[in-house]
Amino acid sequence: MTRHDRQPDTWNGQSYYDQPPLKNPHWDWKVSGYIAVAAVSGAAQALSWIGSLRDRAAFQGARRNASAIGLIGSVMGAALLIADLKTPQRFHNMLRILRPTSPMSFGTYIFGLFGTSSALASLGELPAVSRYRPLRWITRLAHGGAAISGAGVATYTAALMSATSNPYWSSAPRALGAQFATSAIASGAAALALLERFSGRTRTARQLEGVAALASAAHAGATLCAKQRHQEVGLDEALSDHPGRRLDAADLLVAGALPLAAYAVDRATGGRSPTAAVVGSAAVLAGGWLMRHGILNTGKETARRPAAAFRVASPCNLPRTDKRRSWIRN
């Protein structure tokens, strides 16, 4: 082991003729679209369940809307996922096994559970079903199931992207989990708030906007953590000539500052600026999708760049337990 301990622990700029060190999946807007749709529908079901637990009558409208969002989201999500496969006629092979190391595998089951419970819960909105007590309780139980599996559907996608070798997706797993979760709650609340506004139910709309505002603030915090981590592992430097370097800032603006400002305007004017509130909710929804699509595409760019891939896969970025390997110079 003479030369081994001379390996420096950071990348020194060398590559193989600047060839991409990693490969990219064929994933496009269908995948980022699925991630966004899953987030909105999962969180909408969870929030409508919470609202219904507190005041079943007041959130009746929101519950119906969430039920519709859950159903449409499940159907749309499944269609997007199957359309994205390169051999779609074998989509059912996803159910051959359950692999805990693969978010794509266990996520399929969470999504299936969410779709099934959403469908069952939506039956509760039919008078023919809700008239019978046992059936009513089954649909309410299913609503709870949709809420809990909704939490999974909204967040497992962060694990799906983190559990790869892609430099951008994988560099900040905890921050990405928090980003997806906070953006999901904000988007679910914003979607329901918009529909409440359009139906003239201002009181519940404002409560949901409160949730969206809090989640947007939390989202800004999570994005700052991600930004910090991207800087630490050297991705900022690797993307210095690419718009992806501004993704975190754009996310902070569209999904953080803009909705917070819009909601604040509505509150400051004592609720006399419903337009501002609507703008805020729309910004939350747009920001959530932009963030997910931006992360997908920026990640693909980093996989093509030796400067990004080799920086991230440097010994200095290894988990601490690994750094004691004899061949790394200290």
Partner 1 sequence: MSLDMRHEAESTANTRIEPGRSYGFFTDTTLCIGCKACEVACKEWNQLPAEDDKLTGMSYDNTRDLSATTWRHVAFVEQMDQGPDAVMPGLQSRWLMMSDVCKHCDPAPCLEACPTGAIFRTEFDTVVVQQDICNGCGYCVPACPFGVVDLDEVDGKAHKCTLCYDRLKGGMEPACSKACPTDSIQFGALDDLIQRAHDRVDALHEGGRTDAYLYGAPDTPGATGGIEKLNAFFLLVDRSEVYNLPLAPTRPASRTAPAFGTGLAAFAGLALAAVALLKGRS
Among 94, 120, 258, 284, binds partner 1 (CB under 8 A): 94
By CB under 8 A, residue 101 contacts partner 1:
yes
CA distance 52 to 42: 16
Shortest Cβ distance from residue 51 to partner 1 (Å)?
4
Q: Which of 104, 129, 250, 257 binds partner 1 (CB under 8 A)?
A: 104
> Do 241 and 255 touch, CB atoms closer than 8 A?
no
Residue with Cβ nearer partner 1 (26 or 131): 26
We find the least distance from the C-beta atom of residue 134 to partner 1, in angstroms, to be 26
Distance in angstroms (rounded) separating the CA atoms of residues 192 and 70: 11
**Position 108 contacts partner 1 (CB under 8 A):** yes
From residue 261 to residue 290, the character string flagging contacts with partner 1 as x (rule: CB under 8 A) and all else as - is ------------------------------
What SS3 state is found at 119? helix
Report if residue 169 touches partner 1, rule: CB under 8 A: yes
Among 35, 40, 46, 205, binds partner 1 (CB under 8 A): 46
Q: Is 176 in the site for partner 1 (CB under 8 A)?
A: yes
Phi and psi at residue 270, to the nearest 5°: 65, 30
Please report, for the chain, how many H helices and E strands are present, in that order. Answer: 13, 0
CA distance 291 to 288: 5
Q: Binding segment for partner 1 among 126-134, 230-238, 258-266, 307-315 (CB under 8 A)?
A: 307-315
The first and second tokens of residue 269, run together, are: 């004017």
Q: Is 116 in the site for partner 1 (CB under 8 A)?
A: no
Instruction: Indicate the residue among 55 and 126 with the shorter CB distance to partner 1.
Output: 55
* Interaction between residue 21 and partner 1 (CB under 8 A): yes
**Smallest distance from the beta carbon of 283 to partner 1, in angstroms?**
18
Check residue 130 for interaction with partner 1 (CB under 8 A): no
Residues 137-166 that bind partner 1 (CB under 8 A): 151-152, 154-156, 158-166
When asked if residue 181 is in the footprint of partner 1 (CB under 8 A), the reply is yes
Q: How far is the CB of 132 from partner 1 (least distance, A)?
A: 26
Residues 6+ apart with CB under 8 A from 24: 166, 300, 303, 304
Dist. CA 153–CA 92, nearest whole Å = 19
Residue from 169, 166, 144, 143 nearest 35 by CA: 169
In the list 64, 91, 129, 138, the residue contacting partner 1 (rule: CB under 8 A) is: 91
Do 245 and 239 contact (CB within 8 A), yes or no? Answer: yes
Q: Is 13 helix (H, G, I), strand (E, B) or coil?
A: coil
Contact call for residue 203 and partner 1 (CB under 8 A): yes
* Range in contact with partner 1 (rule: CB under 8 A) among 116-124, 171-179, 251-259, 275-283: 171-179
By CB under 8 A, tell whether 29 contacts partner 1.
no
Which 218-247 residues touch partner 1, going by CB under 8 A? 218, 222
> Counting contacts by CB under 8 A, is residue 2 touching partner 1?
yes
The two tokens of residue 169 are 């997706």
- Segments in 55-90 forming alpha helices (H): 60-84
CA dist., res. 260 & res. 264, Å (int):
6
Return the HEC string of 34-61: HHHHHHHHHHHHHHHHHHHHHCCCCCHH
- For residue 23, the minimal CB distance to partner 1 (Å) is 4
Least distance in angstroms from the C-beta of 72 to partner 1: 21
313 binds partner 1 (CB under 8 A): yes
By the 8 A CB rule, do 153 and 179 touch? no
Of 221, 208, 229, the closest CA to residue 252 belongs to 221
